[in-house]
């Protein structure tokens, strides 16, 4: 199957999943704590991941899956095609605000990002595509992102990193025009793709950044761990940065 056909198929799946999520928001959520009261999971997270995993298993039984809610595979290497699923990115926002959350999927082949999908369900903003297909926002091609420096735009920063000034996060933030803390990696990636923000620094799991990497790299964004080393879809949470090339260079100064 061509990357375009695969992209169109996954767009349909996520659109269907989003419709279900909106319907479920009309009913009380079942909320559980994972590691602490700041780390929540709902029945909708689990049901959305189950829906997407079942679609992938039915159509691509030889592919591997890494999902936030644990319905995927145990993966020891990056050979072949791997799907990284965040069924509800920004669960705290989902529970407390019932908005400002995304459904995200990133697809990697032999450790290379090939397709990404980020859907802001409530605002109906859907970015999807990759290096072979082009990158789109609600069906319209996204042009290459303007390469502005740190001092010329807004930067998203993880609130904990900023509060503790982890690796000079405060200094970096104060160099920018302003700082944004959205509580949802997908929204930060969407803002960068739309030219509304020029960088994002956070502590992310692979399913938090996989879609954004696949969408951002074809548009000229730089992505790495916060120490400048390569990100890994096999590692756990890692300090991560995505930015325009000039902003990326400014951050590491």
Residue that is last in its domain, among 141, 165, 181? 141
- Domain holding 106, by residue range, is 3-141
233: left (phi over 0), alpha (psi -120 to 50) or beta: alpha
Same domain flag for 98 and 198: no
116 shares its domain with 217: no
Asked if residue 20 and residue 137 are part of one domain, the reply reads yes
Residue 29's pLDDT is 86
- Number of structural domains (the chain) is 2
Q: Can you give the CATH number for the domain in which 192 is found?
A: 3.40.190.80
Look up residue 91 and give its two tokens.
């669960």
Residue 42: the pLDDT is: 81
Tokens (6 digits) for 62: 């030889």
- Choosing from 141, 172, 195, the residue where a domain stops is 141
Do residue 45 and residue 165 come from a single domain? Answer: no
Q: What pLDDT sits at residue 117? A: 98
Of 80, 112, 141, which residue is a domain's last?
A: 141
Per-residue pLDDT of the chain in tens (253 residues, 90 and over written 9): 799 999 999 999 999 999 999 999 998 888 878 778 776 778 898 999 999 999 999 999 999 999 998 888 889 899 999 999 999 999 999 999 999 999 999 999 999 999 999 999 999 999 999 999 999 999 999 988 999 999 999 999 999 999 999 999 999 999 999 999 999 999 999 999 999 999 999 999 999 999 999 999 999 999 999 999 999 999 999 999 999 999 999 999 8
pLDDT of residue 143: 85
b/e per residue 205-227 (b: at least 16 CB within 10 A): bbbbbbbbbbbbbbbebbbbebe
């Amino acid at each position: 199957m061509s990357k375009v056909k695969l992209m169109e198929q996954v767009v349909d799946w996520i659109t269907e999943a989003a419709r279900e999520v909106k319907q479920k928001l009309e009913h009380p959520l079942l909320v559980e704590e994972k590691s602490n009261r700041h780390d929540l999971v709902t029945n909708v997270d689990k049901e959305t991941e189950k829906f997407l995993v079942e679609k992938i298993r039915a159509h691509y039984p030889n592919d591997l899956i890494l999902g936030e809610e644990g319905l995927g595979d145990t993966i020891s290497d990056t050979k072949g095609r791997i799907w990284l699923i965040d069924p509800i990115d920004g669960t705290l926002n989902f529970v407390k605000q019932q908005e400002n959350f995304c459904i995200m999927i990133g697809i990697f082949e032999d450790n290379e990002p090939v397709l990404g999908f980020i859907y802001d369900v409530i605002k109906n903003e859907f970015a999807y595509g990759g290096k072979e297909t082009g990158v789109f926002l609600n069906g319209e091609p996204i042009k290459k992102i303007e390469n502005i420096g740190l001092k010329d735009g807004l930067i998203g920063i993880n609130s904990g990193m900023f509060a503790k000034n982890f690796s000079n996060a405060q200094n970096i933030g104060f160099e920018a025009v302003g700082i944004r803390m959205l509580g949802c990696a997908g929204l930060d990636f969407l803002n960068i793709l739309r030219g509304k923000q020029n960088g994002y620094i956070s502590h992310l799991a692979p399913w938090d950044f996989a879609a954004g990497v696949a969408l951002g790299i074809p548009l000229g964004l730089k992505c790495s761990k916060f120490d400048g080393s390569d990100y890994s879809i096999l590692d756990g949470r890692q300090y991560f940065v995505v930015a325009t090339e000039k902003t990326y260079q400014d951050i590491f100064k």
